[in-house]
Homo-oligomer: A and B are copies of this chain.
Amino acid sequence: MEPLGAAAAAARIAAGDLTPSELTERCAARIAERDDTVRAWVDWDPRPPTEAAAARDRETPTGPLHGVPVGIKDIIDTADLPTQHGSPIFAGHRPATDAACVAALRAAGAIVLGKTATTEFAAYEPAATTNPHDPGRTPGGSSSGSAAAVADGMVPLALGSQTAGSVVRPAAFCGVFGFKASYGRADRRGIGAQAPSLDTLGWFARHAGDLAIALGVLAGPAEGGGDRIHQPEHPRVAVVRTDHWDQADADTRTAIETAAARLADAGAEVDELETPEPFPGLTDAQTTIQAFEAAETLGPLRELHEDDLSESLRALLDTGAAIRPEAHVAALALGEDARSRATELFERWDVLLTPAARGAAPRGLDSTGDPVFCRAWTLLGTPVLAVPGLRGADGMPVGVQLVGRPGGDRRLIDLGGRLHTLLA
């Protein structure tokens, strides 16, 4: 039985054809069956939250996610479950309150099924999670457990976050939609900070429509009314290969060509775009900002708990601590300059089509892969979307990335849904 998406599940629950308890049990059964291999969940009891589900059973559905189980990346505070940030420092830590995004999901009727595995403080030290399509490969990170849980049909919707490529990359590796909102649009309160100039909420689903429902629940109104602009019949798509194209393997190159061709066949205006200055500098600038701010944000924890940090995290913090404040300020200024020019870019183009990752999920679990194709857009603050549907030469999922204009989150999701239909 194909697992239900969030919208379909909510509709059946609202129609009285399914109860929240039944759905929660189904998700729990899938987790019980598969999570010894996938390891998407932390502290899975493995009893489902039966009381919360039973309470939803008794309520009249009003919220758009009534009775829908969701997974929450374990850097996001939950009052009823530990929040451990993928670090022994926070072992068993129980926040006093829900993060704003968790509270919004619950208010919309969702049931928090559990916490999903994250890399250490959403940086580079891998979680135990494996790729649902091949347990010998990484699911990507840092939102490893959320991407894998959605891909494996354990839950229809899960929250992640992105500082470099922590939503788009695992979504592409696991073959699901991964959406990162416009910077500043979704409330971050209660989400563990890594690099505050970059950190942004994101979420995973198997259906574009589910992303849109979550957008309504999780994001405030768009700046400049970007959401109100109706969908163009013939979207103008710029294929952006970027300066990193030589790092894209054959699978990724084929995926971009395929997506571009299908869009053109379907009536889109598709052209190549070589991004002007200062866009090519964004990748390096993002790398500088991330390391510098991580060293500041996680500095006190390092002071107190040096021995409980991984070597890879210490290396990141060392790199950040060696960056001069002037270099950080210059990187922020470059980002600001690019943002001011992005307005013009998105007057000409509705969406950019660009690689989501260098290829399919790499073999091995000692790295979550390279966020090189995501860094620039995270600094630019645009909404981005990993669109699944394609497979590489060895059968593993290969995603492509769509980049929308800042504030145009809803429009991007809709366009991603259309592209997915063309790819599937």
Contact = CB atoms under 8 A, between A and B. Distances in A.
Interface of A: 77, 83, 89-90, 93, 95-96, 183-184, 188-189, 192-193, 196, 293, 296-301, 303-304, 306, 321-322, 324-326, 329
A304 B192 contact: no
Contacts of A296: 193, 196, 297
Nearest to A292: B196
A300 B303 contact: no
A50 B399 CA distance: 65
Contact of A321 (B83, B90, B189, B329): B189
B184 A303 contact: no
Contacts of A77: 303
Given A184-B326, A329-B184, A95 B303 contact: yes
Contacts of A304: 89-90, 93
B184 A96 contact: no
A95 B324 CA distance: 21
Contacts of A306: 96
Contacts of A93: 303-304
Nearest to A200: B325
Contacts of A196: 293, 296, 325
Contacts of A325: 183-184, 188, 196
A304 B304 CA distance: 11
| Copies of this chain, tallied across the complex | 2
A318 to B, nearest CB: 11
A306 B94 CA distance: 11
10 closest A-B pairs (Cβ-Cβ)? A184-B325, A196-B296, A193-B296, A184-B326, A300-B301, A189-B321, A193-B299, A296-B297, A297-B297, A300-B300
Nearest to A189: B321
A300 B192 contact: yes
Nearest to A100: B321
Given A192-B300, A300-B192, A303-B90, A184 B95 contact: no
Contacts of A324: 184
23 contacts: A89-B304, A90-B303, A90-B304, A93-B303, A93-B304, A96-B306, A183-B325, A184-B325, A184-B326, A184-B329, A189-B321, A192-B299, A192-B300, A192-B303, A193-B296, A193-B300, A196-B293, A196-B325, A296-B297, A297-B299, A297-B300, A300-B301, A301-B301
A327 to B, nearest CB: 10
A189 B303 CA distance: 12
A196 B293 CA distance: 9
Contacts of A95: 303
A407 to B, nearest CB: 12
A121 B285 CA distance: 30
A297 B322 CA distance: 18
Nearest to A87: B300
Nearest to A223: B326
A314 to B, nearest CB: 11
Nearest to A301: B300
Contacts of A193: 296, 299-300
A95 B321 CA distance: 15
Contacts of A301: 300-301
A203 to B, nearest CB: 18
Contacts of A329: 184
Contacts of A188: 325
A83 B299 CA distance: 14
A326 B192 CA distance: 18
A77 B196 CA distance: 24
A83 B304 CA distance: 11
Nearest to A190: B321
A36 to B, nearest CB: 30
A243 to B, nearest CB: 27
A240 to B, nearest CB: 25
Nearest to A77: B303
